Amino acid sequence: MLRIEQIRNVAIIGAGVMGSGIAQTFAQAGYAVRLQARHADSLRAARDRIARNQAAMVRAGLFSGEAARDALARIHPTTSLEEATAGCHFVSESVPEDLDLKREVFAVLDRHAPPGVVLSTDTSGLPISAIASATTRPDLVVGFHWMNPPHLMPTVEVIRGARTADTSMDLTCELARRIGRVPIRVEKDAPGFLWNRLQLALIREALHVVEQGIASPEAVDLAVTAGLGLRWAAVGPLRLMDLGGLTTFHSVAAYLYRDLSKASEPQHTLAAKVVAGETGARAGRGFYDYPAGSAEAAIAARDARLFELLKLLRLPQFRDKDTASPETGAAAGG
């Protein structure tokens, strides 16, 4: 397997929302990126998306215009998977969430990527082991799960499949640090890994609370953005219990668990909206209304708030001119 300092060229497979943000992040950290999509149109759209994201970061004072241009120049688009992977040192896959498709892509990646190169997948929850078994190098296949928006969110999950080697886990974690991300190790290939298990537990209860008329969607969102989210940025749920005293949390769990949602399939409120085509901001309606043209503004408002929070937290990817350099080994997140 390659050593971390040998990694300079990264192949990103799939150029949608995630692939383009991942390409942007690697390029901003100084890596040479080959971004692959099947169609030239997708690559043009990816380049526009990256340029828009960078412009917002420059406006927010997080990045200089010159650094943004240099990073963009490090991204080489290609429609050829062979060209993307020839001589590459690490592969990050972000094609749509379909197991057959991912297995097909990994079988091809396995044939074209040099031996010893780690193949990572950004699957949201498909089994890493099932993807790895399409290759002859399951020890080098690892889950590398980014959060949306990938160019801003500081954490990535690094997930072990049944046959993933320790060295593949360690290398991917170290690479994450070098591009200014905080790796979260997930040691078991469990459905939803870690992030989505935590997130969906909260979403299930949020839907339950709204369905029961206990609180409005606005109140639920406010409780999280102005309260829980703020505290959880300071202390995680397990240490929170330590600090508050385990006896109290034991007492609350003893009377409250039985009243919480135990839904084992998507609740009615969510399912009905999907059936009605009210699928969220881009459709014009979800839990809130989005008059024509306002979806982009809602996403930009979310990103602007993230910029401010990330600046306050002084996370490494937002220290201007402090980007990682694979040439010098200077790690932004190290």
Ligand X SMILES: NC(=O)c1ccc[n+]([C@@H]2O[C@H](COP(=O)([O-])OP(=O)(O)OC[C@H]3O[C@@H](n4cnc5c(N)ncnc54)[C@H](O)[C@@H]3O)[C@@H](O)[C@H]2O)c1
Quick check: 144 and 155 in contact, CB under 8 A? no
**Backbone CA torsion sign across 107, 108, 113, 118:** negative
CB under 6 A: which stretch of 82-90, 119-127, 168-176, 248-256 binds ligand X? 119-127
Q: How far is CA 270 from CA 2, 32, 141, 286, in A?
A: 45, 42, 34, 9
| Nearest residue to 142 via CA among 207, 108, 87, 93 | 93
For ligand X, what does the binding mask look like between residues 32 and 61, x meaning CB under 6 A? ----xxx---x-------------------
H helices of 137-216, where?
166-178, 195-211
Shortest distance, position 321 Cβ to ligand X, whole Å:
29
Binding residue for ligand X, selected from 32, 51, 72, 124, defined by CB under 6 A: 124
Among 1, 8, 16, 205, contact with ligand X (rule: CB under 6 A):
16
54-62, 95-103, 288-296, 299-307 -> range binding ligand X (CB under 6 A)? 95-103
Q: How far apart are CB 212 and ligand X at their closest, in Å?
A: 28
For residues 296 and 278, what is the distance between their CA atoms, to the nearest angstrom?
17
CA 142 to chain centre: 14
| # binding residues, ligand X (CB under 6 A) | 22
Binding of ligand X at residue 19 (CB under 6 A)? yes
| Stretch binding ligand X (CB under 6 A), from 31-39, 82-90, 223-231, 240-248 | 31-39
Distance CA 109, CA 155 (A): 26
Question: Does residue 196 interact with ligand X by CB under 6 A?
Answer: no
- Euclidean distance between CA atoms 121 and 131, whole angstroms: 8
Report whether the peptide linkage leading into residue 127 is cis, meaning its omega lies within 30 degrees of zero: no
Residues 145-164 binding ligand X (CB under 6 A) are: 146, 148
Among 12, 29, 105, 324, binds ligand X (CB under 6 A): 105
Q: Please, which residue, 43 or 210, has the CB nearer to ligand X? A: 43
The residues that touch ligand X, with contacts defined as CB under 6 A, are: 13-19, 36-38, 42, 94-97, 101, 105, 122-124, 146, 148
